[in-house]
Structure 1
């Protein structure tokens, strides 16, 4: 797989022997296609931090030119969504049962 960046998760528990745990870094690299974000989905700019955003529309697709070619796992800018490649899904499925849920997303 390409572009997988493991980051050590500093978690503490009551066990005497802690096994190292890792999170996968998901850099926000891709963008939603502008046509799927309508004016009604926009939220007002935050007076405190200046952030401006939108409600995630029910039907969404990615801007094709923003999708990184060398990553099997990445985030979508201005959202908390994570996108994975088919190769990532196949690898996780080969490892055994998982509680991960995947949904296909279109690209335009």
Structure 2
């Protein structure tokens, strides 16, 4: 892993529940990983949220921790994700990560697609 830009404030925050779920995913990994949060062009509203466990930190990534979880975000995604809160919800109707993005001007029913 190379030198990166350490963010002075977290660009996104994880709720306690989301951080616990990420730690569960990390526990199954045999190598050191970080949570990569990204924006992917596409989806029904224009962009989609991306969450991946990654072993690579790029030179221009922003790095920080939220709830004790190491997080990385690329510069393109950071402009759309500043202030994003990632939660985790489990119910009879569905289980998964949730996204509250103050930059989003619209979203669709899937919960992972947004417009800015």
Task: Give the TM-score category using the shorter length.
Answer: under 0.3
Give the TM-score taking structure 1 as reference length. Answer: 0.24
Larger strand proportion of the pair:
2
Q: Specify the structure having the higher radius of gyration (Cα).
A: 1
Give the TM-score taking structure 2 as reference length. Answer: 0.23
